Homo-oligomer: A and B are copies of this chain.
């Protein structure tokens, strides 16, 4: 069993007015609570909360520099690469993480190697490639050994997890993610009742928990919100770990379109976040995620399917008695990324239609509302 490395701080040396300062773009805003930001930023973070009709808040992480939450992780992880004198950055990802790593590496003047699946969505392939990274489309089982040689022989810094028995991740990853919690606290002016988080390896989940936990260490809050992990029902290593009392598990993964959070292996961080916060691990089907995505897009937010897992988890949530989860305070669902990253994006164009009024009028009569 592999446990992740944890970053600790001298909390008594954090400036007392840190949370009294206005919100601003860039993780610099939170520098006293972060590892050294040796790599330049792109104004990441400071994403808005958008409210749904029933008052639920959506933390719109598609408003980051590469349009996902992964920018927060990569600002600090690429800073580690820069600070340690690495000659490049290596990552295994067919989605947001690879693109964010490529962008921050480019900004820091470091080359980037992205191990990606050849069946990555076409729009995502354009995306990762745009930043000038080398896209290495080798079979998944070959990645760990090849990545190790990239690290050893080329001197590249890994910003993905290459441990086998459990996901450990980059130690600085949750440090970037915890700023999500700081921002929610600043925006709401209070600790929410619950946060629902799309969950793959559980790093974002843990980061959000850690951020709120730090607020209690700093004396700014007296509790954390309940953290709800929202995994695809096709897998669910965290739900399995919690059910079986283990620090991490490996599970078989069935088919799911939520490729961004489809993971066979979990990690200890997710267990800590759920247990310490009094939350739970929920699993959601593709149908539930699709319904949540439809709800979000009906409110003007086009998210990646994986991103809708948070809202899907909230909508599906039943307590032990089988009743819907009830909250007495604000509830936040994190939406991690934009709809551009989905598999179907860019695969269909719209053929010309007849330029007559009857055709146009018929199309409008089909519209809802």
* A residues apposed to B, CB below 8 Å: 22-26, 42-43, 46, 48-50, 60, 62-67, 88, 103-104, 106-107, 109-113, 116, 118-123, 125-127, 129-139, 142, 146, 149-150, 153-154, 297-302, 338-340, 344-355, 357, 360-361, 363-364, 366-369
Given A123-B346, A353-B136, the answer on whether A25 and B48 have CB atoms closer than 8 Å is: yes
Q: Which 8 A-B pairs have the closest CB atoms?
A: A346-B346, A43-B48, A107-B300, A22-B22, A25-B48, A142-B355, A123-B346, A111-B367
Contact yes or no, B67 A67, CB < 8 A = yes
Each complex incorporates copies of this chain amounting to 2
Given A50-B42, A300-B42, the answer on whether A118 and B153 have CB atoms closer than 8 Å is: no
Contact yes or no, B352 A137, CB < 8 A = yes
The distance from the CB of A140 to the nearest CB of chain B, in whole angstroms, is 10
In the complex, which residues of chain B have a beta carbon less than 8 angstroms from the beta carbon of A113? Answer: 360, 363-364, 367
In the complex, which residues of chain B have a beta carbon less than 8 angstroms from the beta carbon of A299? Answer: 106-107
Contact yes or no, B146 A360, CB < 8 A = yes
> What is the bound-complex CA distance between A138 and B352, given in angstroms?
6
> What is the bound-complex CA distance between A25 and B138, given in angstroms?
42
The distance from the CB of A122 to the nearest CB of chain B, in whole angstroms, is 4
Contact yes or no, B348 A126, CB < 8 A = yes
In the complex, which residues of chain B have a beta carbon less than 8 angstroms from the beta carbon of A112? Answer: 367
Contact yes or no, B349 A346, CB < 8 A = no
In the complex, which residues of chain B have a beta carbon less than 8 angstroms from the beta carbon of A302? Answer: 66, 103, 127, 130-131
